[in-house]
């Protein structure tokens, strides 16, 4: 079984209408190129150097409706990152990954568990973290291939990806707006390759570019080999992922079977 994945690198700003139009056009372009699964970055609905509740897109709002509509129009599976208002008052939000099927229906959602409070950034000033644990894991069947979803800072926490592979993931997709800075691009590449190697799975990273963001969207195989890497600017990386390669690597390197520890959530 082969799955054709399109990883989209884009830049989002504070204008929701502009972000929505750009996201729709990228999905259309990826679909025309033959993608079955399209992955857009974290905060595709809105991003700013300092997050605020103004960037949140309501679940019944125009961004979500547009993502549902374009998935149905193009008959693709779509995974996209945005912010939503959290339940309750107080202006709190959640960082959410949304999965839409080829019929436009929402197939699942994942609220980012690990909030980026580092390098002077504090996502927790605006965001509530998702609950840890297997019950929150988002793993989808796309054209017969199991696809697990994670977000940005999660890359620094390998246990998040163990939960996904324990749920059957053969492909790991990560949405990011990875903060720029000294050494950050190198760290991103090492983490992407490490998560792929230790889980003997493909990893597809859709990362925002632009001021304050690293870009460097990429796809790596279960042995950590880079299959495609984006440089500067908007880009679409189209890669065929082979389910048989995952099975072959896991047969030769059965490290998942050799594990002696399980993942236990911490409050």
Looking at the chain, list the stretches that DSSP marks H as alpha helix, in order from N- to C-terminal side.
16-32, 62-74, 158-166, 184-199, 243-252
Please check whether residue 217 is in contact with residue 207, taking contact to mean a CB–CB distance below 8 angstroms.
yes
Q: Is residue 158 part of a domain?
A: yes
Predicted confidence at residue 120, as pLDDT, reads 87
Span 52-81, pLDDT tens digits = 999 999 999 999 999 999 999 999 999 999
Span 191-226, pLDDT tens digits = 999 999 999 999 999 999 999 999 999 999 999 999
Q: How far is CA 151 from the centre of its chain?
A: 5
State yes or no: pLDDT of 90 exceeds 80. Answer: no
Q: Is residue 267 part of a domain?
A: no
Predicted confidence at residue 135, as pLDDT, reads 86
Q: Is residue 110 part of a domain?
A: yes
User: Which entry of 42, 84, 111, 123 is annotated as an active-site residue?
Assistant: 42
CA 36 – CA 240 distance, rounded (Å): 10
Structural domain tally of the chain? Answer: 1
Question: pLDDT tier at 89 (50, 70, 90 boundaries)?
Answer: low
Please check whether residue 30 is in contact with residue 60, taking contact to mean a CB–CB distance below 8 angstroms.
no
Q: Which residue has the tokens 């990386």?
A: 237
- pLDDT cut 70: percent of the chain above it: 99
37 beta partners? 5, 77
State yes or no: pLDDT of 140 exceeds 80. Answer: yes
Question: pLDDT tier at 266 (50, 70, 90 boundaries)?
Answer: confident
152 is catalytic: yes
Q: Which residues contact 234 (CB under 8 A, 6 or more apart)?
A: 9, 10, 11, 26, 209
Q: Is residue 227 part of a domain?
A: yes
CA 234 – CA 151 distance, rounded (Å): 19
Crossing angle, helix 62-74 and helix 16-32, to 10 degrees? 10
Please check whether residue 219 is in contact with residue 227, taking contact to mean a CB–CB distance below 8 angstroms.
yes
Q: Is residue 266 part of a domain?
A: no
Question: pLDDT tier at 87 (50, 70, 90 boundaries)?
Answer: confident
Q: Which of 34-48, 82-96, 211-225 has the least mean pLDDT?
A: 82-96
Q: Which of 73, 67, 11, 5 is nearest to 35 (CA)?
A: 5
User: Which entry of 84, 93, 112, 123 is annotated as an active-site residue?
Assistant: 112
Read off the pTM.
Answer: 0.96
Please check whether residue 209 is in contact with residue 9, taking contact to mean a CB–CB distance below 8 angstroms.
yes
Q: Is residue 259 part of a domain?
A: no
Q: Is residue 86 part of a domain?
A: yes
Question: Which residue pairs from 246-252 have beta carbons closer than 8 angstroms and sit at least 24 positions apart in sequence?
Answer: 246/170, 246/171, 246/200, 246/201, 246/202, 246/222, 249/200, 249/222, 249/223, 250/200, 250/222
Q: For the domain that residue 118 is a member of, what is the CATH number?
A: 3.60.110.10
Q: Is residue 113 part of a domain?
A: yes
Q: Which residues contact 262 (CB under 8 A, 6 or more apart)?
A: none
112 is catalytic: yes
Predicted confidence at residue 267, as pLDDT, reads 72
User: Which entry of 73, 152, 198, 244 is annotated as an active-site residue?
Assistant: 152
Q: Which of 38, 46, 43 is nearest to 18 (CA)?
A: 46
What is the domain range of residue 239? Answer: 2-252
């Amino acid at each position: 079984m082969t799955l054709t994945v399109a990883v989209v690198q884009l830049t989002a700003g504070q204008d929701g209408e502009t972000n929505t139009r750009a996201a729709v056009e990228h999905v259309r372009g990826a679909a025309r190129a033959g993608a079955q699964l399209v992955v857009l970055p974290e905060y595709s609905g809105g991003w700013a150097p300092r997050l605020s509740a103004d960037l949140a897109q309501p679940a019944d709002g125009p961004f979500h409706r547009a993502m549902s509509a374009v998935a149905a129009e193009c008959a693709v599976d779509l995974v996209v990152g945005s912010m939503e208002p959290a339940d309750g008052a107080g202006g709190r939000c959640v960082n959410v990954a949304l999965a839409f099927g080829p019929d436009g229906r929402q197939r699942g959602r994942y609220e980012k568990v690990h909030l980026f409070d580092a390098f002077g950034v504090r996502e927790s000033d605006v965001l509530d973290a998702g609950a840890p644990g297997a019950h929150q894991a988002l793993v989808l069947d796309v054209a017969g291939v199991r696809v697990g979803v994670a977000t940005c800072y999660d890359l620094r926490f390998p246990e998040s990806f163990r939960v996904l592979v324990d749920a059957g993931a053969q492909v790991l997709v990560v949405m990011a707006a990875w903060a720029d800075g000294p050494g950050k691009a190198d760290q991103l590449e090492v983490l992407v390759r490490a998560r792929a190697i230790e889980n003997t799975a493909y990893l597809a990273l859709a990362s925002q570019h632009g001021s304050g963001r690293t870009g460097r969207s990429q796809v790596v195989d279960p042995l950590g080999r880079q299959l495609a890497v984006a440089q500067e600017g908007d880009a679409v990386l189209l890669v065929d992922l082979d389910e048989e390669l995952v099975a072959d690597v896991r047969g030769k390197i059965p490290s998942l079977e050799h594990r002696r520890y399980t993942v236990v959530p911490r409050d």
